[in-house]
Amino acid sequence: MNKIIFITGGARSGKSNYALKTAESIGKIRGYIATAEALDDEMLERIEIHRKSRGNGWHTMEEPKNLLNLFDSLQIKYDVLIIDCLTLWVSNLMEDGLDDKDILKITDKFSKKIVAYKNNIIIVTNELGMGIVPDNPLGRRFRDIAGKVNQIMASVSDEVHFMISGIPVKIK
C-alpha cells in the first residue's frame, strides 16, 4: 500500500530520528533523499552525523534542488523512501532565484509525483511559523513560502505528525 507520512516540527525536535525509525519498521529496501548542501564546515558536520545515524541498509541520494527529475530517474523501487528535508529544498530553490509562484508550481508537480509513487514515502520538514516574525523581508518570504509548501505536501499526505521534544503527535 502506498502511504505518505509527513513529519513536521521545530529544529532538533526529533523529526529525522522518528522518520528513520518509522521507515525501518516499514521495509528493508530503504532510500534516503538528502536535500542539504555542505556549504560550510558546520553543515558538513551535521550531514555526517545524519549519515552515521542511518547506519547500513540505506541507499542515500543527494539532491538539493531537482526532486522532480530525481523521482523520474529512480531505478530502484523502495519499500520506503525518506525525503529530508523540504525546508532546505525550499531554501535551495530560493537561493537559485526562483520566485514564489515558481516554487509553488514545482511543489504542486512534486506532490503529484509523490502521490503517483506506488510505495511508502516519509517527508521531513520544519514548522517555521510558530516563532517570532522575522525581522527582514527575506526571512518573512522564506517563512511564508515554506508554510505554503508544507500545506501542499501535508494535504496529499495520509498521515501528518508533529514532533515536540522527540514525541510524535499524530494530527492527521
Number of continuous H segments (helices) and E segments (strands) in the chain: 6, 7
Owner of C-alpha cell 509523490: 114
For the purposes of burial, counting CB atoms within 10 Å of the CB of 33, is it exposed (0-12), middle (13-18) or buried (19 or more)?
A: buried
Within 60-158, where are the H helices? 67-73, 86-95, 100-116, 137-155
Neighbours of 59 (CB within 10 A): 14
Known active-site residue 161: no
Give me Rg for the CA atoms of the chain.
15
Question: How far apart, in whole angstroms, are the C-alpha atoms of residue 43 and residue 54?
Answer: 17
Catalytic pick among 50, 65, 113, 141? 50
Catalytic residues: 50
